[in-house]
Structure 1
Amino acid sequence: MAFEPPQRLVRALGETPDPASDADWLERLPGLAEAALARRGVEPQRVQAPGGRSSLVVLVRYPDGTPAALKLAPPDARPDRELTALAHWGGFGAVRVLDTRHHGEDGALLLERLHPEVSLRSLPETKALLEACGTLRRLWVAPPAGHGLETVEERTRAQSEALRAAPEEVRALAEAALAVRAELTALPGEELLLHGSFRQGKVLAGERAPWLTVGPDPLVGERAYDLARLVRDRLEDQVASSAGAAGARRRVNKLADALEVDRDRLRGWTLFRAVESGNRALAAGRRRDAELLWEFAAWL
C-alpha cells in the first residue's frame, strides 16, 4: 500500500526548527514504513488520517488478526523518550506498547489499537475534564531509575531563550512569563513523570480501558506544569465565551483543586506555557493561534 503522509503532518513538519531534515525524513518515509512493518511481521490496513502533527500512524494487524498501530516519527520527535514513558506506565492510563524488539533499529513504536476518532474532545466539557483528571492521576508516578529525561527546569530554560527575543507587541507578556518561570523554578520541587503534552485530544477511547493517553513528550517535574496545558484546552471556545478572564481564572482554580495542585503555581505555569506557545506559533506563521494564546495568557 502507499504510505502517503497526511497533509496535517506535512504542514506541521514544515514549521519545525529544522524543516530540511524533516523534509528528508518525509521523503524516506514510505521506505521506512515498509521496513518497519516487515521487521514486525504485521500487515498494514490504512494510514490514520488526519493523524497527528509529529508522526505517521499506520493501522495494522498481526497475522492472527489482532489489531495494532505502528507509529513512526522523525528522530527529533524523540520517540525513545516516548517509549521510556509508555513502558514505565505499562498500560496504566496510557496506550500499551506491544513490541519493543526493533525500536533501536528504526525508532518505530508498535502500540495497541485505540479509537483515534474518539477522544475526550467528543465529550461535553465537564465530563471531559473529569476523565482527563482521572487519567492524569494514573500518569503522575515516580520516574524510572536512570531515565535520562529532561526536567521541567531544563525544558523551560531552553524555551526561555526564544521568549527573550519575543516581538515588541508581546514583550510585556513575555517578561511576565519569564519572571514567573524564574520564580517557579527557583527551588527544587516535585520530581514526577509527566506527560508533557497532555490535553483532551491526547486521550483516546480504548477497549481494555475507557480512556487511555497517547503521544507523550515526557519530562520530570511538578504536576502543575503538566496540568497547565489542559487549562487552555478548547481555547477558541474559552476566548469566545462571555466569561472571559473570570472564566479562565475559575478554570485554573477548579482544575488545581480537583488534582490538589497549588493554584498559584498552576496559574504561573499556564501563563508561561501559553505565552511560549504563542511565540512559537507566531514564528511558524500562525498569527491567529498566537493572538488567541496571548489573549488567554493576559487573562491570567
Structure 2
Amino acid sequence: MAPAPHVPLDPPDRLVRTVTAWEGEAGRAWLAGLPGLVAGCLERWELTPERVQYPGGNVSMVVLVRRADTTAATLKIGMVTAETAQEPAALAHWNGTGAVRLLEHAPEAGALLLERLHPDISLRSLPDAKAMLEAAGVLRRLWVPPAEAHPFTAVADHTARLAALLRERRGRPWAESGRPLIDEALEAYERLAGSPVPGGPVLLHGDFHQGNVLAADRLPWLAIDPKPLVGDPGYDLAWLLLDRREDLVASPGGRAAARRRLARLSDALETDPGRLRDWTVFRAVEAGVWCWSVGDRTGGELLLEFASWLAE
C-alpha cells in the first residue's frame, strides 16, 4: 500500500548527519535511496505509517506503523555494516526473551519489522540506581549460549582488531596526551586476551546501555539495537558501566560513584570486578581515542577521564 500522504517520511536530521559523517559517499548514496526502501517495505508488508521516530537512530530510520490487522509494529531500516549485519540472527535466537521480537526481515533492504515497544521511554527515564537494577535483569536474560553453528563474531576477534587500531592511533600527534592511558588500556586488553572466559562464552548484545532498553508490554523492559558478539559478558557490562558518564564526570563525587557502580554491577551479575575494570578501561579508552580520531575531542576527553578513575 502507498504511504499515507499526510505522514512525512523524511529521514531524521541526526540520521543524515551521522551517516554522512561516518560513511561518506556510501552513506550519502544510501540516504538517497532510503525513501524508496521505506516505501517498498510499507508495500511489501502492508503497513500503514503513523510517524517517524525522532531523533531516531544514528544509522537507521525508525517508523512506527500499523500492520494490515491494525496491530502496532515498528519498521527499522538501516545501513548494513559489519556491526549490524547479524542483528536479525541475534533477535531470532533470543525470540523475544529479553529483547524486542523480530516479526519480519528483508535483508536486501536492511529492514526489520519489530514488535512495537514504547519508543519514548527508555531506562534513562528512571533514576540511575533503579535503571542499573533493571538493566542487570535484562542482561541475565540475554546472556545465553549461542547456537552451535552461529554466525556471530567472537569478542576476541573483534577486540583484537580494536586493539590493533588503538596501537596505531597511539602514535598520532593528536593522541600524545592520552598515551599513558592508552598503554594502560592495552595492558588491560592483554590480560583479558590471555585468560579464558569464566563460565564460557555467551551471546552478547554488543552495545548495551540504558538508552537501548525500552519499556514494553510483554515484559517491563526489552533490549533493542544489538550489535551481537559471542564472548565474555564483561564486554557488555563495561558499556553499561560507562552509561550516564556525563553526569558522573560533572559531579564532585564522580570518581567514587564510578567505583561503587563497578562493585554493584559486578556483584549483581556475578562478574569478576577485576575483569570488569579491565574491560571498562579498554572499551572507554578505545572509544575515546576513536572520538579523537573523528574530531570529537570533548567526547573523547569524557571517556578517557572516566577510564582514568578506574585505571588508578
Post-superposition offset of 1:188: 3.2
3-state DSSP of counterpart to 2:306 = helix
Q: Match of 2:287?
A: 277
CA–CA separation in structure 2 for the residues paired with 1:231 and 1:80: 25
Q: Aligned-pair distance for 1:30?
A: 0.5
SS at match of 1:260: coil
Q: In the alignment, what sits opposite 1:266?
A: 276
Aligned counterpart, 1:127: 130
Cross-structure match for 2:15: 9
Alignment of 1:65-214 (within 5 A): 65-76=70-81, 78-100=83-105, 103-164=106-167, 165-166=169-170, 167-189=175-197, 190-214=200-224
Q: Does the aligned pair in 1 maintain the 2:234–2:271 contact within 8 Å?
A: yes
Do 2:15 and 2:60's aligned partners in 1 also have CA atoms closer than 8 Å? yes
What is the deviation of 1:79?
4.0
Letter in 2 for 1:188: P
Asked whether the equivalents of residues 91 and 101 of structure 2 are also in contact (C-alpha less than 8 Å), the reply is yes
Residue in structure 1 matched with residue 3 of structure 2 by the alignment: none
Q: Shift of residue 141 of structure 1?
A: 0.2
Structure-1-length-normalised TM-score: 0.96
Superposition RMSD in Å: 1.3
| Cα distance in 1, alignment partners of residues 214 and 13 from structure 2 | 22
Contact kept, 8 Å, 1:46 with 1:59, in 2: the verdict is yes
Name the residue aligned to 2:4.
none
Show the counterpart of 1:61: 66
Deviations 1:57-92 (CA, angstroms, capped at 9, x unpaired): 111101221000011111216543001111111101
In structure 1, the gaps of 5 or more residues are none
- The change in CA–CA distance for 1:87 and 1:268 in structure 2 (over 3 A counts) is same
Look up the equivalent residue of 2:195 and give its one-letter code: L
User: Partner of 1:163: helix, strand, or coil?
Assistant: helix
Residue aligning to 2:234: 224
Identity %: 51
Deviation at 1:227, TM superposition (A): 0.2
One-letter code aligned to 1:96: R
Matched, 1:20 2:25: yes
Deviation at 1:23, TM superposition (A): 1.3
Equivalenced residue count is 297
**Shift of residue 93, structure 1, vs aligned partner:** 0.8
- Contact kept? 1:256, 1:262, Cα under 8 Å: yes
What amino acid is aligned across from residue 165 of structure 2 in structure 1? A
Once residues 142 and 236 of structure 1 are traced to their aligned partners in structure 2, the CA distance between those partners, rounded to angstroms, is: 34
Q: Please state whether the residue corresponding to 1:15 is helix, strand or coil.
A: helix
Partners of 1:199 and 1:230 within 8 A in 2? yes
Q: Is the 8 A contact 2:248 2:255 kept in 1?
A: no
One-letter code aligned to 2:135? A
Number of the residue aligned with 2:51: 46
Q: Is the contact between residue 274 and residue 296 of structure 1 (CA under 8 Å) also seen in structure 2?
A: yes
1:110/1:78 Cα in 2 relative to 1: closer, same or farther (>3 Å)? Answer: farther
Q: Judging changes above 3 Å, is the alpha-carbon distance between structure 1 residues 231 and 119 closer, same or farther for their aligned structure 2 residues? A: same
